Amino acid sequence: MKKMLYSMVVFSLVFFVMSCGKEVKTEKAVVKIPTSICGQCANTIKTAVMKLDGIKSVDVNTETKLAMIEFIPASVKVTEIEDAIVMSGYGANEKAANKEAFDKLPDCCRKEEL
């Protein structure tokens, strides 16, 4: 019983600290990904962006050619997100895809020539 009470106290304390901890503010950014085509493109972009610190979620839509990214502005900047996409072989907003990365993409993902 004593042990249970102890663990309950610890639990509520942890919960208290967590809920009182500085609230992490997130922001949402929409990045244009004009050269994305298929589901594999979406996966490649998602994987590349998720590797960055401070990324909460990535939602890639190859039909609207937009990526919706929720991120922590204190940890990561939109330009870094764009660069990660560029380095994975896709254009991001006004930035062109990295040529080397683009050449390594599967054939189905390279319909648009740079």
* Contacting residues toward Cu ion, per CB under 5 A: 37-38, 40-41, 109
Smallest distance from Cu ion to CB 67, Å: 14
Residue carrying the six token digits 């600290």: 17
Smallest distance from Cu ion to CB 64, Å: 15
Smallest distance from Cu ion to CB 41, Å: 3
- Torsion, CA 58, CA 61, CA 62, CA 67, rounded to 10: -50
Nearer to Cu ion, 34 or 73 (CB): 34
In the complex, which residue's CB is closest to Cu ion? Answer: 109
Residue 99 token pair: 């040529």
8 Å CB contact between 29 and 49: no
